[in-house]
Structure 1
Amino acid sequence: MELNEKIGSVKNREDLIRFIFHLRTDLQNNREKWGNVTLDDYLEAMEGWISEMDRFYLNSNQPIPNQPSWKTIADILYASSMYE
C-alpha cells in the first residue's frame, strides 16, 4: 500500500503513530522523491499547506475540517513532504 493510501486508514492516535512511522521510513528509503527533506523546508511547506488546505478538501470532494482529526494531521504531515 502506498503512503498516500495509508492516510485513509488513520482514525485514531495509534493509526497516526503507525502512519508517522511509515512516513519516516519513506523519507529514509525515498528521499529523492520528497520535495522537502530539511526540517526548515518541511515546516515551511506545512505552514503553506495548512493555509491552503481548504482548496485540497474542496478539490477532492471532502468536507473542510472545522476541527482537525487524526486523519487531518496525517494529511498535513504527508502533504508537507512535497508541498511547494
Structure 2
Amino acid sequence: MTLECQRCHRPVRESAAQYEVFERMHYVCFHYEFEHGDTDVDTECGAGGCPSASLAGGRDRVIATARALAIDAAGGAPWTNVALHEYLEAFAAWLADSGGYYDNRDRVPPGNGWEVVNDALQAATIYE
C-alpha cells in the first residue's frame, strides 16, 4: 500500500511513520501548509526545523563573524579563551551545550546550522 501526500500527491516514504500526525502529508508539505504561514518559501520562517533554513544567508554571517573575531583577537581583545586550544575547546563545549543556550532564552534552535556555528564562534570567546 502506497501512502500519498494530500498536498503534492507524491508517495510518502521517509515520513510514513508520521503520516497521520502530518495530516497525511510529507513533513515538508505539512510545514508549508500549516506552519510556514505567509513567509516566502525561500525564507526561513522561524519555526524549528523549517526546511527553508538551509537557504538563509548564514554562511555570509559566519564569514563576517570569523573575520571580525580575527581582528579582535589580533587587537588583544579581552577574551576568556585567548589561546587557540582554549578557544577550540570552548567552541566544541558550547556546541555540545547549545540546546541549553536556546532553551534558556526561550528560543527555538535555528534550523540553519550556519546560525548555530555563528553563535558558537562568538560564544567560544568567553564560554567556560
TM-score range, shorter chain: 0.7 to 0.9
Report 1 or 2 for greater relative contact order, CA contacts < 8 Å, sequence distance ≥ 6: 1
Normalised to the residue count of structure 1, the TM-score between the two structures is: 0.72
Structure-2 residue corresponding to 1:46: 91
How many Å separate the matches in 1 of 2:92 and 2:83? 14
Structure-1 residue corresponding to 2:73: 27
What is the alpha-carbon distance in structure 2 between the residues aligned to residue 73 and residue 12 of structure 1?
Answer: 9
- Per the alignment, residue 5 of structure 1 pairs with none
Q: CA separation in 1, counterparts of 2:86 and 2:117? A: 18
> Taking every aligned residue pair, what percent have the same amino acid on both sides?
30
- Counting matched residue pairs gives 73
Instruction: Report the Cα distance in structure 1 between the residues aligned to 2:100 and 2:63, rounded to whole angstroms.
Output: 26
More helix by percentage: 1
Secondary structure in 2 matching 1:70: helix
Matches within 5 A, 1:60-75: 60-65=105-110, 68-75=112-119
**Cα RMSD after superposing both structures:** 2.0
The one-letter amino acid paired with 1:25 is I
Deviations 1:34-79 (A, max 9, x none): 01111110111112111211111011121134x5522111101111
Shift of 1:30: 4.1
Structure 1 unpaired stretches of 5+: 1-9
What one-letter code is carried by the residue in structure 2 that aligns with 1:51? A
Normalising by structure 2, report the TM-score: 0.50
Which structure 2 residue ranges, 5 or more long, are not aligned? 1-55
Is 1:55 paired with 2:78? no
